[in-house]
Every structure is written in C-alpha cells, then in structure tokens.
Chains A and B, each alone.
Chain A
Amino acid sequence: MQGFAESFASAAMLILTGDPALWEIVALSLRVSLTAVAIAALIGFPLGAALAVGRFPGRGAAIVCVNALMGLPPVVVGLAVYLMLSASGPLGVLQLLYTPAAMIAAQAVLVTPIVAALTRSAVEGLAAEYDEQLRSLGIGRLGAIPTLLWEARPALATAALAGFGRAIAEVGAVLIVGGNINHATRVMTTTIALETSKGNLHLALALGALLILLALAVNAAVAALGARPREALHA
C-alpha cells in the first residue's frame, strides 16, 4: 500500500510541476488526435451530408457500412494502416511508418466513420424539415448541403468532439503504426500501457488522470453545445 500512495503523490507532483517529459507526451497526443479529427471532419462532414441528402443506388448500403465502421476495432485499423505504410505496402515509399503522420492517418481512419455517421443522422433530420422551404427558395439538393451543414453546426461540433474522445483514448492503432518510440511517437495511452507493464506507476497514473480530465472536458463541452439550441428554442 505504501508504494501505491507514493505513486499517487509523485503522479500529482509530475502534473503540478509541469514535468517536461509528461507534457511532451500530452502535447504529442493532442497534436495527433486534433489533427486526425480535423481531417476526419473535412471528410466526414460533406460525406455525411451527401449520404443524408443524396439519392443514388447503394445509398442504403453505404449508410449501413458507415454506421458499422463506427465500431472499428482500433487494432484492426492499426494493422490495415501498418500494411499500407510498411516498406512493402502500396504507400511504403512515403516512409511514414513510426512517425506521428502515420498515427494521424490511423486515427483519422478510425474517426471519420464516427463523424460521417453522426453528421448524416443530424443532417437527415434537418433536410426533412428544410426540404420544401429550400427548394421553394430555388436551392437544389446539392446546393443545400452547405446550408444544412451550417444549420447543423451544434450537432457537427458534437460529432467532432465524439470523434476526438475516441481518438485520444484509443491505444491499439497508434501503438501499431507509431511504435511507442520515446520522444518521437509516444502518446498518453501507449505510455500508460508501457509504464504500467514496467511497474513505473507514477507516470502512468499522472497520464491517466489527465486523460480522464480530458474526457470530462470533452463531455462537458458536448453537454454545453447540446444545451444551447434547446434554450434558444424555448426562449
């Protein structure tokens, strides 16, 4: 029990003193996951809107696929991206394996279906409400997409935050394509796994506490975004 309490105390010290090794890892985690979410939003917002308003053969199947991909196991994504980026893979020439870029790619693959599926469901509801009004104003099906995305902005922010929560917390994909290299590709989750297995609990605990704080902050942000439009409607 002695060691346990000591670990908590030194974990708190690490956070409070702003330990450079700790912050290096946190900063890389944020950089990788935020960039991955930005890429996923760039692809997922228009893709989700197109699935919501588009009328094309295979639309139903595409929606089922995107919804199913929301639950992609991170290790499988890691494996797939690894195969693409490995020396003998189709993108091997880029030499991205074991770099933050590879980790960003893996997390973007993981998060894009989440953003796209949540966007589709939000935009579909709005499209039904706005359909006649927008067509009456002379706006076509494709022309309506930017309008609908803007009208759905609280839901899109929620989708992006949900994607961020998934990216920052996953360990399998970044471990496989990043390799958990010290000072290069070590992020919060991979560090926790490694340090725990080494018995170095205080760093793992400090990172775990920060991760939980981040999760809380993300959920608080989602809740705040969800509350605002409802207030506006009742005002």
Chain B
Amino acid sequence: MRDLAWDAEAPPLVACHDLRFSAGGAVRLEVPRLHLRAGAPTAVLGPNGAGKSLLLRLLHGLIAPQEGRVIAAPEVRQAMVFQRPVLLRRSVAANLDYALRAAGEGRRARRARLPDLLSQFGFAASARQPARTLSGGEQQRLALVRALATAPDVLFLDEPTASLDPAATHAIETLLAQADAQGTKIVIVTHDPGQARRLGGEVLLLNRGRIAERTPATQFFAAPRSPEGRAYLSGALLL
C-alpha cells in the first residue's frame, strides 16, 4: 500500500459543494463540501439509509443534484461498479469490447487490446462464453474488469461484494489493490468494516445524510473521532 498522503494542493478529481438532496419530504443527503483527490482508497461507511449510494450516484453523475454542485472535469475518467453486475447478454469478450467502444476506442485499437485484457484478467478461456452464464462472483469480477478496461481516474463501487462469497470477495479486492497501485482513485461503499480496513485508505462515515467523520482507516478503527464513529463500530449506530 502506498502512504496515505492526500495532496491538499492537487486539484480534486471530483468535488461537491453545498450538495443537498431531498426525497419524500426528508433530506437524504447534505454535504457542504467534499473533495476527492488522487490517492489511497476512500471507503464510504454508514448505516442503511445514510445516503451512501446516493452520494456515489451524485458524484458519478447518474443523479443530478437538486441543490449545490458536483464538479468533475471531463478529462477525469470515471467508472462505476454496481452491487448487482449488469452484464450485456453477449459473450465475455463482447462485454469488454462494448465498454472500450463506448469509451471511444477505435476498432483496430480494440482488436489489439481485447486479447491482452482477457488473458491479463483470466478470462481468456471464457472469452466466448455468454457473460450471464458466469458465476455471480465471476460476473462481478467481469463488471470490475470492464470498468477498469478504460483505465479510469476514479472508480466508484457500490457494495460490489455484498452478495459474494469470501473467495470472490478476495478476487475483487485483489483487483482493487492492483488498480489502486496503478493510480486509480477508488471510492467504495461497503457495509464490511473489514473491507475498509483491508483497502487501507481513509474512511468517510455517513450518518443521516451527513458526513460524520473522515479519517485514515487505521485511525478510524483504532480510535474514531466522532461519536457516530464510535457508535458505528460498537454496532449501536441506528438511523
């Protein structure tokens, strides 16, 4: 793992200011200021309904903010992996090819890259297999490889291992560590404190739509600064 220096001078990859989002008459998210810079992974923790997925979708641009701004430079490449992998009803190779084409890579470049991608990530043998016949863990791994295929600067993940067994979870985390080492900023929503600890970056604790605490992971798990952080780790943090 790299050291945990977040360069405060570097321009943020993604930022939001005065973000507010309400639904059903209740404020679901209220983030006055959040800057995500290149560096170690950010694990977004918090109880159900804290606004974690909403924050991710707003930052990625899947949901337009009602109030405030999300600032993401167009040259900063983003990708996202969802809790349930959404693979196209095509072969494994065609799924990767689709993502490369969507990212604007030409036919010749794709034809050159595709075999490398497939063998690099262990999909060479299953390249022609319909993607939806892969096991759940392999489907999610393919979704992750598809997201990484375009070498994104920021990778958002929304509970990517929530329905995976330990082996499949380990495979995903190995890929995330590789991507982190290659300079992709990882922003992951997880319900697994162990996962946040293993990724070894910082923890962003959300509670009732607000950022309760943002601390390096080692510090958070040793001695959280906020009352919400202490309550969360003791299992007492409820909505």
Contact = CB atoms under 8 A, between A and B. Distances in A.
Interface in B105-154: 130, 132-133
B88 A147 contact: yes
Nearest to B87: A133
Number of chain A interface residues as a range:
10 to 19
Contact of B89 (A136, A139, A229): A229
Contacts of A138: 102-103
Interface stretch (B30-38, B78-86, B216-224, B225-233): B78-86
Contact of A132 (B62, B88, B98, B132): B62
* Interface of B: prevailing SS: mixed
Contact of A151 (B61, B88, B99): B88
A8 interface: no
B60 interface: yes
B118 to A, nearest CB: 18
A129 B86 contact: yes
Given A138-B102, A151-B88, 8 more contacts: A130-B86, A132-B62, A132-B80, A133-B82, A136-B62, A136-B78, A232-B89, A232-B132
* Interface of A: prevailing SS: helix
A5 interface: no
A132 B60 CA distance: 10
Given A130-B86, A151-B89, A229-B89, A136 B60 contact: yes
Contacts of B103: 137-138
Contact of B99 (A130, A135, A137): A137
Contacts of A132: 57, 62, 80, 82, 86
A1 interface: no
A94 interface: no
Contact of A135 (B62, B89, B133): B62
Contacts of A137: 98-99, 102-103
A235 B139 CA distance: 13
The 10 A-B residue pairs whose C-beta atoms are closest, nearest first, are: A133-B86, A137-B102, A136-B80, A235-B133, A151-B89, A132-B62, A232-B130, A138-B102, A139-B102, A232-B133
Interface in A117-172: 129-130, 132-133, 135-139, 147, 151
Contacts of A133: 82, 86
A71 to B, nearest CB: 31
Contacts of B80: 132, 136
Contacts of A151: 88-89
